[in-house]
């Protein structure tokens, strides 16, 4: 278990065989968002066989636009890695901002499997085969 103190954010990381839990305590905002992104990215880099990344949100006291941006960035990294992101024990304030910004479903849905991603990456690009005579 590793604890990462930040000015007003505390991250506690616990890893198991195929998952990592990062417990968030305090404010996720302009001053602290980078610390969470760095910790999540480090875990994804160090653990290529990781299947699940859990962010424990029960201790989240406040979140601003940079905190939301951090969650979106982590989702982007986990999706590329084929890792499921879980936002566990979300407080009402987090659900409210996710709902208002239209990101609740996006952040809480499962990513496509690695196989699906590889198939999509190798698919031919869809483009017109001839010019449109109306343009």
Domain spans of the chain? 35-53+66-90
Q: What b-and-e string marks burial along 111-122, b requiring 16 or more CB atoms within 10 Å of the CB? A: beeeeeeeeeee
Return the sign of the alpha-carbon dihedral for residues 11, 24, 30, 104: positive
Q: How confident is the model at residue 80 (pLDDT cuts 50, 70, 90)?
A: very high
Write out the two tokens for 30: 């302009």
Q: How confident is the model at residue 17 (pLDDT cuts 50, 70, 90)?
A: confident
Q: How confident is the model at residue 109 (pLDDT cuts 50, 70, 90)?
A: confident
Between residues 135 and 102, which one has the greater pLDDT?
Answer: 102
- If we measure between CA atoms, which residue out of 66, 79, 8, 6 comes closest to residue 39? 6
> pTM above 0.75?
yes
Furthest-apart CA atoms within the chain: distance in Å:
64
Whole-angstrom Cα distance, residue 70 to residue 24? 13
Predicted confidence (pLDDT) at residue 116 exceeds the cutoff of 60: no
């Amino acid at each position: 278990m590793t604890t990462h103190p930040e000015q007003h954010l505390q991250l506690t990381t616990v890893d198991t065989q195929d998952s990592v839990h990062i417990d968030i305590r305090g404010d996720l905002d302009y001053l602290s968002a980078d610390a969470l992104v760095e910790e999540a990215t480090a875990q994804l880099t160090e653990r290529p066989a990781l299947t699940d990344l859990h962010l424990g949100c029960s201790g989240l006291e406040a979140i601003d636009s940079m905190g939301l941006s951090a969650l979106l960035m982590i989702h982007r990294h986990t999706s590329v890695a084929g890792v499921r992101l879980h936002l566990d024990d979300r407080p009402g304030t987090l659900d409210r901002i996710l709902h208002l910004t239209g990101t609740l479903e996006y952040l809480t849905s499962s990513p496509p499997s690695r196989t699906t991603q590889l198939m999509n990456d190798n698919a031919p690009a869809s483009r017109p085969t001839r010019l449109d005579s109306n343009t």
